[in-house]
Amino acid sequence: MSDRGAKHILDAGVLAIAGAVRSGQATAVSVVEEALERVAAADGRLHCFNCLTAESALEAAEKIDESVRRGLDPGPLAGVPVALKDNLCTRGVPTTCSSKILDGWRPPYDATVVVRLREAGAVSVGKTNLDEFAMGSSTENSATGPTHNPWNLARVPGGSSGGSAAAVAAGLVAASLGSDTGGSIRQPASLCGVVGIKPTYGLVSRYGLIAFASSLDQVGTFAPTVGDAAAALQAIAGHDPADSTSIARPAPELMHGLDHGVGGLRVGLISDFLAEVSEPCAAAAADAAEALSLAGAAVEEVSIPEMLLGLPAYYIIAPAEASSNLARYDGVRYGLRVDGPDVETMNARTRAQGFGPEVRRRIMVGTYALSSGYYDAYYAQAQKARTLVIAAFARAYERFDVLLAPTTPSAAFALGSKTSDPLEMYLSDLCTIPSNLSGHPAVSVPFALDPDGLPVGVQVLAPALAEDVMLRAAAFIEAVAPASARGPVRPGQVAQRD
């Protein structure tokens, strides 16, 4: 990489890019220019981005190069182009949650994770598309239109962080941030053939993350490899006094031990999901378990039937929290305002025009579940089910260091195929929701291709703050998986993969 303007350095990955920029082998400007060129060439077909910040990205890259010239250390992610899910506040940059109700809103502050990425030397090139207010599993519930899967433009990228996952899968950026409330990082990571990490609840600050369901939301990372996703997570993790739910202790070391193997690791393959997912997804999890066993891990199937309570519990708890969080969008303080003869009419018109159908559906479900006469029958019961899930995890982790499961019930499905059936769409989160209810970390790793040539991910789950062990298992699974099962995939190659 002797050419300081070398093309295709973006394909080298997070750690290699940062190393090249810090050593002077490549310039941050050249890397960011390459990312912007790729976005310009491909995003018209993919729609990963809601807005680009090209000018500020190039200015930030020039400052990094100046630091290198002066002999200063610009940070562990020096010059790495990243993308930010458009529910993360960015000062002076539109932050819309892909909703009409926040169209054009420019926050007066940055989310903590945005600040930490910048301090680590990463360069944001733009804000990515998502299901409106992170409510969805396909990125079709967006006021700006759907994102397309780089592996097949007729398929969904997953959701709600579909734009962030697809941007990494298409090689437009080296890493990206998403949020995971019920699987919104891991599910699109699986469908797009990239790595997606949901960290322990409280490990990463939620300050500046626009809330969907506050007891479930967590910011995490996407990258083509486990090591690169871990490096990005390391940069944003750690205590933040601005977030009352932030864990008041130093972040664990995430990069150490990724290559230490899995000998002696106790792994439980959750059998309850295997009968609920497609054959390729079940086979991928079983094959990953076998590979772990052959490498010296102690692998055993384990039945945790409480995991299947997660889906119905989540779709009461999350809408209930959303109905409270989204009450602030009333046309008075910020965002869209549709005038009326009185305040009540103005509120109603603003929300009717500003929120899409899925958001309105969840607000109504949540309000109903919290209403007098129904609270005990629905919300209280859902919280009891959540407690059962947490207790079941605790028992399982007495026997196992990590758990293994499919990430999704299927590979990427066709655009429009589930939009008319919300319950069918909700089933996409079956395998991912339990970790949100418990607050535990989980990661999706690309592991196989289905008969249509679409990527299938395998999920590794771990106890709270056991990201180091989880990522060690994930790194091994990645090492034994076929390279063809993971991105980046150039949009021009899509036709060859249909």
Given a contact cutoff of 8 angstroms between Cβ atoms, the answer to whether 370 and 236 are in contact is no
Catalytic site includes residue 164: no
Please pick, among 67, 124, 138, 160, the residue that the annotation labels catalytic.
160
Q: Which residues pair with 266 in a beta bridge?
A: 298
Pairing of strands 266-270, 402-406: parallel
Structure confidence at residue 8 (pLDDT): 80
Match 């969907």 to its residue by tokens. 212
- Token representation of residue 464: 């709270």
Domain boundaries, the chain: 9-309+386-497, 311-383
Residue 475 has pLDDT above 50, yes or no: yes
**What does the alpha-carbon distance between residue 193 and residue 45 come to, in Å, rounded to a whole number?**
18
Catalytic site includes residue 160: yes
Could you check whether the bond before residue 76 is cis, i.e. omega within 30 degrees of 0?
no
Distances (CA, A) of 332 to 323, 328, 329, 349, 364: 17, 9, 8, 12, 21
H or E element that contains 280: helix 279-294
Q: Sign (positive/negative) of CA torsion 37, 43, 48, 52?
A: positive
Residue 281 has pLDDT above 90, yes or no: yes
pLDDT tens, position by position, 377-426: 999 999 999 999 999 999 999 999 999 999 999 999 999 999 999 999 99
- Per cent of the chain over pLDDT 90 is 93
Nearest CA to 38 among 75, 83, 88, 89? 83
**What does the alpha-carbon distance between residue 221 and residue 196 come to, in Å, rounded to a whole number?**
6
Nearest CA to 436 among 89, 190, 191, 202? 202
Residue 4 has pLDDT above 50, yes or no: no
Beta strands in 80-158 (DSSP E): 81-85, 123-128
Sort 373 into a burial class: Cβ within 10 Å, 0-12 / 13-18 / 19+: exposed
Match 């919280």 to its residue by tokens. 383
pLDDT tens, position by position, 288-316: 999 999 999 999 999 999 999 999 999 99
Given a contact cutoff of 8 angstroms between Cβ atoms, the answer to whether 95 and 137 are in contact is no
User: What one-letter code names the amino acid at 403?
Assistant: L
As a whole number, mean pLDDT of residues 40-60 equals 98
Given a contact cutoff of 8 angstroms between Cβ atoms, the answer to whether 2 and 64 are in contact is no
As a whole number, mean pLDDT of residues 144-155 equals 98
Choice among 98-102, 150-154, 483-487, 493-497 with the minimum mean pLDDT? 493-497
Structure confidence at residue 487 (pLDDT): 81
Please pick, among 30, 67, 85, 176, the residue that the annotation labels catalytic.
85
Residue 493 has pLDDT above 80, yes or no: no
Which residues are CB-neighbours of 153 under 8 A, at least 6 positions away? 45, 46, 491, 494
Superfamily of domain 9-309+386-497: Amidase signature (AS) domain (3.90.1300.10)
| Residue-wise burial string across 340-360, b where 16 or more C-beta atoms lie within 10 A, e elsewhere | eeeeeebbebbbeebbbebbb
Residue 250 has pLDDT above 90, yes or no: no
Q: Sign (positive/negative) of CA torsion 307, 311, 313, 317?
A: positive
Residue 233 has pLDDT above 80, yes or no: yes
Distances (CA, A) of 65 to 115, 294, 384, 424: 19, 46, 54, 49
Residue 19 has pLDDT above 50, yes or no: yes
As a whole number, mean pLDDT of residues 51-69 equals 98
Hey, is 269 helix, strand or coil?
strand
pLDDT tens, position by position, 168-190: 999 999 999 999 999 999 999 99
- Confidence band for 446, pLDDT divided at 50, 70 and 90: very high
Please pick, among 67, 98, 124, 184, the residue that the annotation labels catalytic.
184
- How many beta carbons lie within 10 A of that of residue 416, not counting itself? 12
Catalytic site includes residue 484: no
